[in-house]
Amino acid sequence: MGSKTITLAGPGLTAEISEIGAEMVRLQDQEGRDLLWNGDPAIWAGRAPLLFPMVGRAKGDRIRIKGRDYEMAKHGFARTSRFSVVERGENTCTLSLTSGPDTMISYPFLFRLDVTYEIAGSVLFNRAVVTNEDEQALPVSFGFHPAFRWPLPYGAAREAHEIIFERDESSEPIRRVRDGLMTPVCHPSPVVGSRLALADDLFIDDALIFLSPASRRVTYGAPGSPALAVRFPDMPHLGIWTKPGASYVCIEPWQGFASPDDFEGEFGERPGVVAVPVGGAATFTIEIALLPGMSQ
């Protein structure tokens, strides 16, 4: 199944969006330098997948709906689904996924997922709206998963890169996953004040998971070089991940997270899952801004 793409252009950024998964597959600055990971399948084929209707894994790769188990792949099915293009312009587009036989097999609900991208100046806005078209509450999780180049293409060494939170996160414990499931153990935060110095050994045990961060904005880059600011005003959880040695780092705002390793209940009762009321909608947003420099 071939994948068509849509190119969006603004004065500071250019983006390319695939109809498969409504995934951003390229993000470049005004000089054409790539800011997004290239999706090398030998390492990790993702670039910026959208996670829906589930973030992370479920135990046994199954979710329970009204006492019946349904197979559900890690991070859900949206990232491999073909979306329809409902609007496109020079600097904006909207793609849509609606429920059907393919989705009902694993997720027996009627829904619509609209994903909009817009470039304004040096900022890319990404909004996802989940609309409940069913006659019952719609249990859902949603996550963004952009993988940025590490190092960024501005000449700084890989080991000079860091993530700066907008607030002090040194007292916020992190969680880990094992076999894709959330463990109950809390770990001391590797953040010093508001700064996380990036290093491969942080990710030997998979992602850093912040379940209740105070911050809703982080800045990624190297001091003195252009940087990326990621803002996630309505996403309560945050994952940071890479494969040790890979040339990317993922900054992942989530609503929801991997299933606790001892959870076997209804999907709607899983921690982090929210219920969209009948006729209602839930909106999830992320903003990615290219900054001229990162503070020392």
Q: Which CATH number is 261's domain given? A: 2.70.98.10
Q: Which residue has 């983006």 as its token pair?
A: 15
Distance between CA 199 and CA 119 in Å, rounded? 31
Residue 76 in domain: yes
Residue 125 in domain: yes
Residue 126 in domain: yes
Residue 51 in domain: yes
Residue 296 in domain: no
Tell me which residue range forms the domain holding 116: 5-291
pLDDT, one tens digit for every residue, the chain (296 residues): 457 999 999 999 999 999 999 999 999 999 999 999 999 999 999 999 999 999 999 999 999 999 999 999 999 999 999 999 999 999 999 999 999 999 999 999 999 999 999 999 999 999 999 999 999 999 999 999 999 999 999 999 999 999 999 999 999 899 999 999 999 999 999 999 999 999 999 999 999 999 999 999 999 999 999 999 999 999 999 999 999 999 999 999 999 999 999 999 999 999 999 999 999 999 999 999 999 987 65
Residue 108 in domain: yes
Phi/psi region, residue 66 (left: phi>0; alpha: psi -120 to 50; beta: rest), is left
Residue 151 in domain: yes
Other CB atoms within a 10 A radius of the CB of residue 230 amount to 21
Residue 225 in domain: yes
What is the pTM assigned to this prediction? Answer: 0.96
Distance between CA 18 and CA 219 in Å, rounded? 26
The domain tally of the chain equals: 1
